[in-house]
Amino acid sequence: MSAETFDVRYPTGAHGHGSDAMNKDPDYSAAYLVLTTDNPELAGHSLVFTIGRGNDLQCASVEALAQMVIGETVEGLVDRLGDIGRNLVRDSQIRWLGPEKGIPHMAAGCIINALWDIVCKVEGKPLWQVLSGLSPEQLVDLIDFRHISDALSPEEALALFQKAQPLRQEREAQLLSDGLPAYTTTPGWLGYNDETMVRLAREAVADGFRFIKLKVGGSLENDRHRIKLMRETVGPDITLAVDANQVWDVPEAIAWIKGLEDDLIHWVEEPTSPDDIVGHKAIQDAIAPIRVATGEHVHNRIMVKQFLQLGAISFLQIDATRVAGVNENIAMIAMAAKFGVPVCPHAGGVGLCEMVQHLAMFDAVAVTGHHSSRVVEFVDHLHEHFVHPTVVDKGRYRAPLSAGAGAEMKPQSIKDYSYPSGKAWK
Amino acid sequence: MSAETFDVRYPTGAHGHGSDAMNKDPDYSAAYLVLTTDNPELAGHSLVFTIGRGNDLQCASVEALAQMVIGETVEGLVDRLGDIGRNLVRDSQIRWLGPEKGIPHMAAGCIINALWDIVCKVEGKPLWQVLSGLSPEQLVDLIDFRHISDALSPEEALALFQKAQPLRQEREAQLLSDGLPAYTTTPGWLGYNDETMVRLAREAVADGFRFIKLKVGGSLENDRHRIKLMRETVGPDITLAVDANQVWDVPEAIAWIKGLEDDLIHWVEEPTSPDDIVGHKAIQDAIAPIRVATGEHVHNRIMVKQFLQLGAISFLQIDATRVAGVNENIAMIAMAAKFGVPVCPHAGGVGLCEMVQHLAMFDAVAVTGHHSSRVVEFVDHLHEHFVHPTVVDKGRYRAPLSAGAGAEMKPQSIKDYSYPSGKAWK
């Protein structure tokens, strides 16, 4: 195999898309990897999502770490992916830079995900279906149990997957028929004025969405106003959640959320630092019946373990590119299943919907099944750049049927948005 | 100002120095920064310690982030360092890669520390003395209270520094007279055979050390053997601690430490993942009276906050280059003081002794004072490459009197060990 990376950046910052209380002007970006094989028709595509500056460093880290897998072959690859994943995060010198967090950890995830893309293309199936076709033993082998065995042992994970195995066929049929419920953040960005928010919210409901998320944390008064206006716009039957993108300290979070004076809010997302497990627990206890969600910035399975052990969150929002790839997300899905916390994936950005939908669908088929607590984020940006864009219809993700793990971008998009040479940046 | 970085690596991996259960063959390395000023005689030197691969990425991150400070001037710099520190970790696009952890966070620390080096050189004083000469208000302004105010408010920090202020003069005199107690890891590396260990342990005691640390976690039988042999070698009056460098899972850590059958062990360091606050708490509760120490890989003040809130550690081992520099280490020292946990800095590597000694001395003069629980790690490697190498005499760090923050390396060393062009790598 050989590895090539591309620094792809979309100039989204100028338009207020994706703006929130923490991230003022994100340029949605991808540290994009292509792993080529001896077969010119077969390549693994993957990406790490970033929001602009530093995307070059992320590319450099992916490219350096990818040297560890260029000796890999396609034959029997699926059964080596557990070991490859463990090796990628255990290089003893690279590990010092984390351990298991940040740039090199996301790089490991990018490489693992590109290898999964190859496996899927060889099998001619979408990732969710490949994963849902693995034996419980194969799934267990994908998990790195280091530092999580006190919360989930290999035996427990095996039992969990075995229990779901007889139900897979029925669940897959339901998935193919009904898809999975999506929620939309499209109307809720902090940079939008009232008129834009109301228009987009009406469109979202007309499109079939039953769940809308608003960004909050700029000013309490403005948040109250926007939530009230949103509620008036969409009516009582639409679920509303809010997202503070980490801007509050713990006492401030508690006071602010209570100050919103709306106990119908379904969840508060990222009320404080994603590192603050103890703080999330304090917030969750104080703001009941409103519940707490986090995950998109939670950097590995060891952090997720603790959020679950302390009962600090009610919804786990896994992200396709924050952690060490599909493998570590399977570990998280399995832990969440054991602790009874629903996985409601984070998406948006660029390519995150295309990628993370597979993990939600794997969960629905081969782990926790279909249930009313799962909802998958959807943001209607930048899908046109993907070879197989996400299909959301009547507020539901449709199960993709094309082969792959979802991240493959159109060659023209890679070219046009390459930074700083692409024509979008001239 | 202008910024230049150097990828400096020492080929230590080939000799077993620095070997432990997690890190088999570290090449002690420095992502080295020089911030030059308009004055050709005045430059700020700093480094991030890494152990080899990835040092190039660390350099690239330092160089990119340093662009944020090249407009800075020397005049009045000390009073802007709080804001500069906060700005360096809050660039909204870079923050996505962490947040506040890993490569960009260590890069921020490197830049902050280089600016401190400039401040020290302008004042003609060592860092510990510059910090110990700041007013309580100036110290409070250096702390980034974001996401820690539930554990330490600005008012609490101010009271803490104010309380110590009248005692500074007396404590400084004691520091200048007695230094601070060091402990040594030099005899304890896992790669050494019995003969080497015994010889180095005898030398350490003859040199005046009263505290020795052994690496453990390879095999329980071997650990028992080495601890017994070490105890026979040094006698009952020398304090022994052990360091597992994160290799255990929580249940394994508890069983292993109990299996050492030695309740006189002063602390067990890094028994499991540095991310696992809840796990450290479980271990600490299970292995009493042996206590738990960690910190060298704890990536920011928000993690330290939780270790303290949960009572998960008995000793906090701050590191000079893991976090966002002097500023974030002051936050940690202040939090530890509030929670009554002694700060026992991690050192070794390359330049860590030279840098972190200043923070321990600041703590001893301007925060918690001189007390019997403080001990500062010392490893006798690579000091010869520094312009002002650490002086440890009769087992005690002597207070450095030369101006600077400690990290300045000799130009010839930078040249000879530059990777891959230096003659050490030819």
List pLDDT tens digits, range B294-351: 999 999 999 999 999 999 999 999 999 999 999 999 999 999 999 999 999 999 999 9
CB contact under 8 A, A275 and B302: yes
pLDDT at A21: 74
The residue of chain B nearest to residue A13, with distances taken between CA atoms, is B93
Say whether both A201 and A110 belong to one domain. no
Q: Does A237 touch chain B (CB under 8 A)?
A: no
A23 and A119 together in one domain: yes
> Quick check: B23 and A96 CB within 8 A?
yes
Domain check: are B340 and B419 in the same one? no
- What average pLDDT does range A160-177 have in this prediction? 98
Select from A151, A140, A143, A65 the least CA-distant residue to A325. A143
User: Is residue A162 in some structural domain?
Assistant: no
Assess whether B191 and B116 both reside in one domain: no
Residue holding tokens 């497990």? A277
Residue A275 lies in a domain: yes
User: Which are the contacts of B4, defined by CB distance < 8 A and separation ≥ 6?
Assistant: B33, B34, B36, B63
| pTM of structure | 0.98
CATH number for position A42: 3.30.390.10
SS (H, E, C) chain B: CEEEEEEEECCHHHHCCCCCCCCCCCCCEEEEEEEECCCCCCEEEEEEEECCCCHHHHHHHHHHHHHHHCCCCCCCHHHHHHHHHHHHHHCHHHHCCCCCCHHHHHHHHHHHHHHHHHHHHHHCCEHHHHHHCCCHHHHHHHCCCCCCCCCCCHHHHHHHHHHHHHHHHHHHHHHHHHCEEEEECHHHCCCCCHHHHHHHHHHHHHCCCCEEEEECCCCHHHHHHHHHHHHHHHCCCCEEEEECCCCCCHHHHHHHHHHCCCCCCCEEECCCCCCCHHHHHHHHHHHCCCEEEECCCCCCHHHHHHHHHCCCCCEECCCCCCCCHHHHHHHHHHHHHHHCCCECCCCCCCCHHHHHHHHHHHHHHHHCCCCCCCCEEECCCCHHHECCCCCEECCEECCCCCCECCCCECHHHHHHCECCCCHHHC
Q: Is residue B221 over pLDDT 90? A: yes
Query: Per residue in A263-276, pLDDT tens?
Result: 899 999 999 999 99
For residues A380 and A43, the model is more confident at A43
Is the predicted pLDDT of residue B191 greater than 90, yes or no? Answer: no
Of the candidates A300, A257, A306, the one whose C-alpha atom is nearest the C-alpha of residue A277 is: A306
| pLDDT for A18 | 67
Q: What percent of chain A has pLDDT over 90?
A: 94
Which entry of B17, B281, B346, B381 is annotated as an active-site residue? Answer: B346
pLDDT at B30: 98
Nearby residues of B225 by Cβ (< 8 Å), 6 or more positions away: none
> Is B51's pLDDT higher than 80?
yes
Quick count: other Cβ atoms within 10 Å of Cβ A387?
15
The more confident residue out of B354 and A19 is B354
- A327 close to A91: Cβ distance less than 8 angstroms: no
User: Are B35 and B177 found together in one domain?
Assistant: no
A191 and A84 assigned to the same domain: no
Domain assignment of residue B160, yes or no: no
DSSP strand pairing (B29-36 vs B43-50): antiparallel
The pLDDT, as a whole number, for residue B13 is 82
Rounded Cα–Cα distance for residues A7 and B275 (Å): 30
Residues 102-131 of A with CB under 8 A from B: 102-106
Size of interface A-B (CB pairs under 8 A): 198
Whether A420 contacts chain B with CB within 8 A:
no
Q: Is B91 on the interface with A (CB under 8 A)?
A: yes
Q: What is the pLDDT of residues B130-186, one digit of tens each?
A: 999 999 999 999 999 999 999 999 999 999 999 999 999 999 999 999 999 999 998
User: Least CB-CB distance to B297: which of A99, A274, A282?
Assistant: A99
**The pLDDT value given to residue B43:** 98
Task: Looking at the structure, tell me whether residues A109 and A211 fall in a common domain.
Answer: no
Cα radius of gyration rounded to whole Å, chain B: 20
Would A13 be classed as within a structural domain? yes
Q: Is the sign of the CA dihedral B145, B151, B154, B159 positive or negative? A: negative
Is A426 one of the catalytic residues? no
Whether the pLDDT of residue A187 is over 70: the answer is yes
Longest dimension (CA), chain B: 60
Which token pair is A140?
């267990």
Whether A155 is covered by a domain: the verdict is: no
With CB atoms and an 8 Å threshold, state whether B103 touches A93.
no
If asked whether residues A121 and A259 sit together in one domain, one would say: no
d(CA B93, CA B106): 16
Closest by CA to B5, choosing from B62, B44, B51, B55, is B62
| pLDDT tier for residue B16 given thresholds of 50, 70 and 90 | low
CB of A119 closer than 8 Å to CB of A81: yes
The answer to whether residue B17 scores a pLDDT higher than 70 is no
B67-97 tens-digit pLDDT: 999 999 999 999 999 999 999 999 999 999 9
Structural domain of A27: 2-143+413-425
Residue A13 confidence (pLDDT): 83
| B 290-329: CB under 8 A from A | 297, 299-300, 302-303, 305-306, 309-310
Q: Same structural domain for residues B115 and B91?
A: yes
User: Which positions ≥6 away from A270 have C-beta within 8 Å?
Assistant: A243, A244, A245, A246, A293, A294, A296, A297
Contact residues for A325 (Cβ-Cβ < 8 A; gap 6+): A85, A108, A109, A110, A111, A112, A113, A116
Does pLDDT of B190 surpass 90? no
- What is the percent of chain B where pLDDT is above 90? 94
First and final CA of chain A: distance in angstroms?
33
- Domains: count for chain A: 2
Residue A160 lies in a domain: no
What's the pLDDT score for residue B94?
96
Check if the beta carbon of residue B238 is closer than 8 Å to that of residue B210. Answer: yes
Which pLDDT does position B18 carry in this prediction?
Answer: 67
Tell me the two tokens of residue A390: 């996400």
Mark whether A396 and A421 lie in a shared domain. no
Q: Which residues pair with A184 in a beta bridge?
A: A212, A378
Please classify residue A415 by burial: count the beta carbons closer than 10 Å to its beta carbon, then call 0-12 exposed, 13-18 middle and 19+ buried: middle
Enumerate the residues of chain B whose CB falls inside 8 A of the CB of residue A93.
23, 25-27, 50-54
**Which CATH number covers residue A366?**
3.20.20.120
Chain B residues 258-277 with a CB less than 8 Å from chain A: 272-277
Residue in chain B closest to A144 (alpha carbons) equals B249
Contact B150 A103 (CB under 8 A): no
Query: Which pair of structure tokens corresponds to residue B154?
Result: 């600005």
Pairing of strands A392-393, B315-316: unpaired
Contact B401, B24 (CB under 8 A): no
Half-sphere exposure of B132 (CA within 13 A, CB side): 28
Q: What's the whole-number average pLDDT of chain B?
A: 96
Option in A147, A252, A309 nearest B273 (CB): A147
Segment A131-156, tens digit of pLDDT = 999 999 999 999 999 999 999 999 99
In A, which residues are within 8 Å of B335 by CB distance? none
Quote the longest CA-to-CA distance of chain A. 60
Answer yes or no: is pLDDT of A24 > 90. no
Residue pointed to by tokens 């609490």: B156
Q: Is residue B153 part of a domain?
A: no
Q: Are A168 and A175 in contact (CB under 8 A)?
A: no
Strands B29-36 and B291-294: unpaired
pLDDT digits over B245-269, tens only?
Answer: 999 999 999 999 999 988 899 999 9
Whether residues A139 and A191 fall in one domain: no
Range of weakest confidence among A217-231, A265-279, A343-357, B3-17: B3-17
In a domain, B162, yes or no: no
Same domain, A293 and A421: no
